[in-house]
Amino acid sequence: MASRATMADIARQLGISKAAVSYALNGQPGVAADTRERVLAVAQDLGWHPSASARALTGSELRVIGLALSRPTDAFAVDSFFFRFLAGVESVLVERGWSLLLRVVGDNTDLEVETYRRWWGEGRIDGVIVVDERHHDERIAAIEAMELPAVLCGGPRKDVRMPCLWTDQAGDGALVVEHLADLAHRRIAHISGPRIFAHERARQRGVRAAAARHGMEVITLEGSYAAADADKLTRRLVQQGEPPTALIFGNDHMSVAGLRTLRELEIAVPEQISVVSWDDSPLTTAVDPPLTALARDTQGYGRQAAEALLDLVAGRHRGRIAVPRSALRVRSSTAIAP
């Protein structure tokens, strides 16, 4: 593990006193302007940041956690998952007198890491919650190199030091596929979100493995969580020679958009094609027919993430934490295969 840069390291590199470094970093008088600039430049090069222990000794405990979201802002604005997740996080922080520093940085993981580095370097946070684990996620190594306390909503992974909150995506996939198998479906399609996300890869593996156990054929198409993608991919599937008898969509917005497309194409749901949403939300019950969907305690997930991070900041590393299993809410969008 890389050692944390200290004011002594800065003083040694510049050949000045530790007191002068402290004055420069804290904006206090007593050092020349050019010395202050050199101190700040070396501090940035070394990745210096105020230590949590130093803040505690001075009585300046922050009690702030950070969360930067690498999602397009237009997608975040309509994503009910994150609003429920944040409600769970905030419920814990309010109970314990902590605060949340939130930033939506767009689809840019480099900017997300730089945001964490700046927050940590400026002494503005005590730790972060990392969401949307990527395939070959470079954020994890960068955050661990900063020695920034963090909890990963992803995994389970044995190659990371931070605690992981992991969901049994394969088990969720099996719930959906077994429901469709019981209804005699043998040719299904899974319209997923982007495969850059580790959870989407795990969901695809889970659906395929469960389908193989039941002798079912699966078509997998990758979407972007956007309604326009759901419309385009639904049309492609149903207009081919042998369309599937059931569609599984990666989230609630995609499933509602797909349902609308099927109605426009005059395809009856569920008489001709059954529809399942991977996410349950008020949207899935506000359409006709109401959608069969996987229900997760997303607010409870946010609570778990916040509790795990506060425990870590307090010195308790909880390792790999299993999130409670999802439940399939069966509604009238699924029926026996034609």
Query: What is the full DSSP assignment across 183-214?
Result: TT--EEEEEES-TTBHHHHHHHHHHHHHHHHT
- Residue of 227, 270, 273 lying closest to 247 (CA atoms): 273
pLDDT at 285 over 90: yes
Rg (CA), the chain: 24
* Average pLDDT in the chain: 90
Indicate whether 191 and 162 sit together in one domain: no
Segment 78-95 shows an average pLDDT of 92
pLDDT exceeding 70 applies to what percent of the chain? Answer: 93
Instruction: Classify residue 106: in a domain, yes or no.
Output: yes
For 320, the enclosing helix (H) or strand (E) is strand 320-322
CA–CA distance, 320 with 152 (Å, rounded to integer): 9
Lowest mean pLDDT among 22-26, 59-63, 113-117: 59-63
Residues 116, 66 contacting (CB under 8 angstroms): yes
Burial category of 8 from C-beta neighbours within 10 Å (exposed 0-12, middle 13-18, buried 19 and up): exposed
Residue with tokens 């008020």: 282
DSSP assignment, residue 141?
H
Indicate whether 177 and 265 sit together in one domain: yes
Indicate whether 94 and 130 sit together in one domain: yes
Instruction: Classify residue 56: in a domain, yes or no.
Output: no
Q: What are phi and psi of 263, to 5 degrees?
A: -65, -40
pLDDT at 34 (0 to 100): 84
Which pTM was predicted? Answer: 0.80
Number of domains within the chain: 3
pLDDT at 78 (0 to 100): 73
Indicate whether 32 and 174 sit together in one domain: no
Q: What is the DSSP string of 57-96?
A: HTT----EEEEEE-S-HHHHHT-HHHHHHHHHHHHHHHHH
CA–CA distance, 247 with 45 (Å, rounded to integer): 52
pLDDT at 241 over 70: yes
Six-digit token string for 198:
């580790």
Taking the alpha carbons of 238, 243, 247, 250 in that order, is the dihedral positive or negative? negative
Indicate whether 14 and 72 sit together in one domain: no
- Residue 90 domain boundaries: 64-167+299-322
Six-digit token string for 223:
């979407």
pLDDT at 335 over 80: yes
pLDDT at 186 (0 to 100): 97
Q: Using DSSP bridges, classify how beta strands 320-322 and 246-249 pair: parallel, antiparallel or unpaired.
A: unpaired
Indicate whether 154 and 254 sit together in one domain: no
Instruction: Classify residue 331: in a domain, yes or no.
Output: no
Residues 175, 206 contacting (CB under 8 angstroms): no
CA–CA distance, 288 with 275 (Å, rounded to integer): 12
Indicate whether 129 and 179 sit together in one domain: no
Indicate whether 162 and 209 sit together in one domain: no
CB neighbour list of residue 299: distance below 8 Å, 6 or more residues apart = 84, 85, 87, 88, 91
DSSP assignment, residue 134?
B
Cis check for the bond before 156: say yes or no (omega within 30 of 0): yes
Indicate whether 193 and 220 sit together in one domain: yes
Segment 200-227 shows an average pLDDT of 95
CATH code where residue 234 lies: 3.40.50.2300
Indicate whether 160 and 173 sit together in one domain: no
Indicate whether 130 and 151 sit together in one domain: yes
Does 54 or 282 have the greater pLDDT score? 282
Indicate whether 160 and 175 sit together in one domain: no
CA–CA distance, 220 with 207 (Å, rounded to integer): 9
Instruction: Classify residue 149: in a domain, yes or no.
Output: yes
